[in-house]
Amino acid sequence: MNSLPFAYLIPIFILAIYFILKKKKPVIVPLTDTDKKILNDYVGYYHNLNPTEKLRFEEKVALFFENTKIEGVGVEITTLDELLIASSAVIPIFGFKDWQYKNLSTVLLYPDTFNKDFQFEGGDRNVMGMVGNGYMNGQMVLSQTALRQGFSKNAGKENTAIHEFVHLLDKSDGATDGVPENLMAHEYTLPWIKMMHEEIKKIEYNQSDINPYAITNEAEFFAVVSEYFFEKPELLKDRHPGLYEQLSQIFSQNLAKT
């Protein structure tokens, strides 16, 4: 049997398969000059970057918009809100080359605090942000008031939206447990757990300036000290050098100027 007459079909066949399998690259809409001005005016982290880093930040923000839906629930979403949400997503991952949040499809913005059943009217509203589990998996809920407060000049060591994105990073290895195994070499996990427990004790004994919410559990500890790391890196380095060093390793960022 001679199969040679059909041999010329092979490259055509391979090419056809290639084009079928090749995914269409999404078109990423670049940020406008107005967007960049808003980032510069409202996001201190972006403001402090050099021009090359700013460009990289803008690209990551644009990519985030491409991959994530942002929806308002009882609230009108402004460009500022969208940019603050995207910045909160980009800041914790800015040290990584190609990180994308795979466990997030939608961010829901509520006008103010809500309760654990995502009701924002009525009593028992004290939640400012939340990463969804179960039927809410892939969703994050944020309070608009808390989002904006986190980026205001008097935010101190707190930033709710960054806190929630750090939970997502923590969750990316399958467990929200304060140990982001995807981001740290195995030999660092035990020293990190030990350090968390020591710091939690200090907070319990009132010997720490870390927000006491951190003693809720290891996951909250990690998210709370990460807010501190991104909002007040110099202060954290000064008061908790060991903690600063560990977080600097985890996030691959050395933010303290002094």
Count the residues of the shown chain that bind Zn ion, applying the rule CB under 5 A. 2
Instruction: Answer yes or no whether residue 85 interacts with Zn ion by CB under 5 A.
Output: no
Distance of closest approach, residue 33 Cβ to Zn ion, in angstroms? 35
Interface with Zn ion in residues 191-250 (CB under 5 A):
220, 223
Residue pair 221/196 in contact (Cβ under 8 Å)? The answer is: yes
Report the residue number, 65 or 228, with the smaller CB distance to Zn ion.
228
Q: What is the C-alpha separation between 219 and 234, in angstroms, rounded?
A: 23
- Amino acid letter, residue 200: I
Report the residue number, 146 or 195, with the smaller CB distance to Zn ion.
146
Distance of closest approach, residue 212 Cβ to Zn ion, in angstroms? 13
- Amino acid letter, residue 160: T
Distance of closest approach, residue 31 Cβ to Zn ion, in angstroms? 29
Report the residue number, 162 or 195, with the smaller CB distance to Zn ion.
162
Residue pair 30/63 in contact (Cβ under 8 Å)? The answer is: no
Report the residue number, 80 or 146, with the smaller CB distance to Zn ion.
146
- Tokens 């010329």 appear where? 8
Q: Give the rounded distance of the alpha carbon of 27 from its chain centre.
A: 23
Q: Write the CA distances from 64 to 36, 40, 88, 176, integer angstroms.
A: 15, 18, 11, 22
Distance of closest approach, residue 167 Cβ to Zn ion, in angstroms? 6
Distance of closest approach, residue 166 Cβ to Zn ion, in angstroms? 8
Q: C-alpha angle with apex 186: 181 to 190, nearest 5 degrees?
A: 90
Report the residue number, 160 or 248, with the smaller CB distance to Zn ion.
160
**Cβ-closest residue to Zn ion?**
223
Give the residues lining the site for Zn ion (CB under 5 A): 220, 223
